[in-house]
Amino acid sequence: MTRIRMILTAVALLTCVPLAPAQDDPPEPVKTTTQTCGAYTLKLEENGFGDPDDRVSVLRGADVVATVTDTMVSVDWCRDVTGDGVPEVLLAGFSGGAHCCFTHTLYSLTTPARRLLTAFSAHSDTLDVRQLNGGGPLELVGADWRFAYGYGMSFAESAPLPVVYSYLPVTGGAPRYVENTRAYPGFLQTFAGRMNDRTEPFSGGMLVDYATRVITGQPGEADTWARTQPAPYAAWLGNYGPDIRHALGDFGVWDWPTRAGAAPDAPRTVLGGSFSAPGTREALALIGGTDPAPATGTPLSGGQASTGTLALYRPQGSGIVAGPALQTVPVRSDQGGYLDSAWWPVFAVRRATGRDDVVVRDARSGSLRFTTHRVSVDTLSPVTDDPLALAATLLGDLSNVARQVASSYARPTPPRTAAQRSEIQRRIDAALARATPWAALTGSALNLPRLGNFMVGAVEMTVDTAERAQVTATADIGEADADTDSEYISGTRHTLTIDLTRSAGRWAVTRWTLTPRTGELDQP
């Protein structure tokens, strides 16, 4: 799932900012070197960590056909990886942080040159060339650092998942390298095995092994394996298992929109699941476009405004096809590919039918709601009188209280006016009116007027029958107190369990409870 990936990437990016030189420092001298690759010249202009940024250019004669700039740059290799007899060149940019961040760009040096891939590699300094399927174009192997610093790990304990880029056809365009890791389950399993081939286990290796079993194994296999591991890892994986499974929702399907003809650099959120039929692997993706966004709903701050289009992407033959537009909403995006929207699919929840329904986070009105939808190839249908839909409403109402309460503790500059403070209080009162009836259905202590953090991490259905259902969610929950001085209110992890029954032809919540989740790396 895509927002967890975005949050972890954002955390990693905090280490990517190099120290700027003092303004009075003289500019560093530029070292220029050249080398040839096929019919092209590669020109490197380097000055260490000084200004201006380093630059590597691809030239055909005197014409610059491609350029990469960053704090440091390099030419990783020049070789024919597509098998057409023409070399490709892999260029790298490095931001200069403690561990991060590398970006790799691959060009085919045809006439004209073609960009085949841009890959954000985070902490990994190159893409390796491999032959993984026995013939044809070579594969490129990089690293997926979505779990760096996650779930209480330090960077030293973190580990990547491998990511495989294959040279594949693209609808409406020439072949290019796209992420295709799920096509190589054996490679993933070998990678995980080697990572854990050591006397002492470590958290990153354990997480990679668990994630690999989620990706390549049968349902429940990863959890069965996790329970057999030594302390504290068994408890830790049990604690974060639902969040890890949710975070893997877009793994291996992130580039499906590209394969179906979307622009390779189009910002997106992607949610994997079996939406239109049981046993399928599909991707529900919201893709940012170039059209100006309509001036409706709550404004989004910063970035480039456009219209986002939701569609279902699914395999057809050896390719990926896109269904028709299911929804369009205003979005904003930045050059790094981050997509911000007040409306986006956040959870894929497996039903007893074997299909996944989708829970959407909708904050277009300024209030927050979770709505539930059923997906087919060409429709996105709201689900009502349904246990998941009712549970999602409860989760959304509690989340909205926290959203409104937390906003009252923000300290903007200039300070809010009396009218603005009055509007915030109105929103808090409206949120409490929606959420208060739920309080009568729980024995758990929850001070709704002080609830300032209710962050749902994963949603699953553990019971889904015609007369009874149970929905569980992981959530960080925190309350404001006398010392609260900002909208960032800390929380502790809980399991929220919602029991539902069908009576007189309608679904109702009978009870919901909060249970603290345990199992951290620093706990025995």
Q: According to the CATH classification, is domain 384-524 in 1.10.3110? A: no
**Residue 432 to residue 450: CA distance in whole angstroms:** 10
**Residue 203 to residue 147: CA distance in whole angstroms:** 11
The pLDDT tens digits of the residues spanning 147-162 come to 999 999 999 999 999 9
Q: Where are the domains of the chain?
A: 2-19+31-247, 384-524
Instruction: At 519, give phi and psi (nearest 5°).
Output: 115, 75
**Residue 188 to residue 190: CA distance in whole angstroms:** 6
Q: What are 451's two structure tokens?
A: 């609830």
pLDDT confidence of residue 3: 37
For residue 178, the cross-strand partners are: 166
pLDDT confidence of residue 5: 39
In the sheet that 492-503 helps form, which strands lie side by side, from edge to edge? 451-464, 468-479, 492-503, 506-516
**Residue 338 to residue 331: CA distance in whole angstroms:** 10
Counts for the chain of helices (H) and strands (E), in that order:
8, 26
The pLDDT tens digits of the residues spanning 230-264 come to 999 999 999 999 999 999 999 999 999 999 999 99
Q: Are 56 and 43 in contact (CB under 8 A)?
A: yes
pLDDT less than 50: residues of the chain: 1-23, 293-300, 524
For residue 358, the cross-strand partners are: 348, 373
pLDDT confidence of residue 219: 86
Q: What are 376's two structure tokens?
A: 């087919």
pLDDT confidence of residue 321: 97
**Residue 339 to residue 2: CA distance in whole angstroms:** 10
Could you write out the DSSP letters of every residue in 331-366? Answer: EEE-TT--EEESEEEEEEEE-TTSPEEEEEEE-TTS
Helix, coil or strand: residue 194:
helix
Buried b / exposed e over 150-185, threshold 16 CB at 10 Å, is: bbebeeebbbbbbbbbbbbebeeeebbbbbbbeebe
pLDDT confidence of residue 30: 83
Note the pTM of the prediction, 2 decimals. Answer: 0.90
Q: Are 389 and 373 in contact (CB under 8 A)?
A: no
pLDDT confidence of residue 104: 96
pLDDT confidence of residue 301: 52
**What are 474-477's contacts with CB under 8 Å, separation 24+?**
474/242, 474/243, 474/517, 475/395, 477/446, 477/451, 477/453, 477/514
Q: What are 245's two structure tokens?
A: 């499974």
Q: How many CB atoms lie within 10 A of CB 437?
A: 11
pLDDT confidence of residue 28: 59
